[in-house]
Structure 1
Amino acid sequence: MGNHGSNLDDILAEDMHHWYNKFMKESPSGLITLFELKGILDLKGINEDANSYVEQVFFTFDMDGDGYIDFVEYIAAISLMLKGEINQKLKWYFKLFDQDGNGKIDKDELETIFTAIQDITRNREIDPEKIVALIFERIDKGEGEMTLEEFIDGAKEHPDIMETLKNMMDLTPVLEIIVMGRQQSLKD
């Protein structure tokens, strides 16, 4: 995470009033819709997989399912991504990966998400197809899909996979855009 982590750690240390002002500046209504999130992130011209991923992130952060991200959900999401315990993060990753909501993830779902993340973050250091093959080779028990327990246990057993997941799922650039606004992020 490098420099990004310290910036966001500093931001998290700010008082709630300051956080609230930043949130209200981005969304004066006090609620962020999916459309507004895409506008904040300036996501024009992204492919369909990346668009689906943004939607999946939004609905994961919309904890009460009302179609909006409110201030509490906003703070909870950012805190989870930066400070959450490993089990919490792995559960959140799994929920993102499980696009069809069947309680299992397969190679296609995982590869689609990784490719979409790369389209959004423009970080193409890791080949999604290779990492998905490695994850399934080491973690999957042969069914071609993984349950939540399989995924968590397997990730914990393999520190290299855990590190790769952290790197692939590093949403720091996205969080910085949300927190600081697109203009500030582009200046850095």
Structure 2
Amino acid sequence: MNRKVVQALAETISKHVEHFNKNEAECLIQEFNVLTGKPTNSGRAVHGLDRGKFISVLHNTFGLTDDMITGRVFRTFDKDNDGIVSVKEWIEGLSVFLRGTLEEQIKYCFSVYDLNGDNAISREEMFHMLKNSLIRQPSEEDPDEGIKDLVEIVLKKMDYDHDGKASFEDFKKAVKDENLLLEAFGTCLPDSRVI
């Protein structure tokens, strides 16, 4: 992209994205172009970040390493579900990812944790995320039992309406009561040192 196209795109995007000004949007567009600038094996340039490149950025730049969570972060950024994160999706996603308000980050984290998209985090979803993120000890006879116990503890903290799952409202209330619960099921936001 030439400089004028980048500037025009940055102007347009910065009007819709709350946490980045025009200059910052321009820098993010340039970084996006660096990340996507290499042609694919077929020789065609891809106009976005595919899942592999995106997850590589999460690993290398932001230190996110849980494959289940990074896959969900990709799906959260990819708003149109076309398998590619466009420059607009990239900047909109980074706006919340890097500088979002607590309210925005609650919505984002909930979206990452709601594995099946039914607007609730079930026991099964909690179990899969915690099982994936916890380190197993070789001496444990049945680590799944410990994870099930942990799920029950988390549900007691989050399930305000006592329906056996954490709805968005349950999750929001729990996080507002205790901010550490924002990333209760795995790290899906960058560490403040990385930002």
Q: Shorter chain as normaliser: what TM range?
A: 0.5 to 0.7
Rounded Cα–Cα distance in structure 2 between residues aligned with 1:32 and 1:163:
30
1:136 partner letter:
L
- Going from structure 1 to structure 2, the CA distance change for 1:58 and 1:170 (only over 3 Å counts) comes to closer
Cα contact 1:23–1:30 (8 A) shared by 2? no
Matched residue, 2:190: 172
Alignment of 1:106-145 (within 5 A): 106-116=122-132, 132-140=151-159, 141-145=161-165
Q: Which one has the largest radius of gyration?
A: 2
Match of 1:53 among 69, 74, 78: 69
Rounded Cα–Cα distance in structure 1 between residues aligned with 2:59 and 2:170:
36
- Going from structure 1 to structure 2, the CA distance change for 1:170 and 1:37 (only over 3 Å counts) comes to closer
Cα contact 1:98–1:104 (8 A) shared by 2? yes
Rounded Cα–Cα distance in structure 1 between residues aligned with 2:132 and 2:114:
14
TM-score by length of 1: 0.63
Rounded Cα–Cα distance in structure 1 between residues aligned with 2:47 and 2:152:
42
Q: What are the Cα deviations for residues 114-173 of structure 1, in whole angstroms up to 9, with x where unaligned?
A: 454568xxxxxxx977764443112213322121112212322x22xx224258535326
Q: Does 1:152 align with 2:152?
A: no
Cα contact 1:98–1:109 (8 A) shared by 2? yes
Q: More relative contact order in 1 or in 2 (CA 8 Å, sep 6+)?
A: 1
5+ residue gaps, structure 1, are 1-11, 44-49, 120-126, 180-188
Matched residue, 2:83: 67
Matched residue, 2:26: 17
% of aligned pairs identical? Answer: 20
Aligned pairs, how many?
A: 150
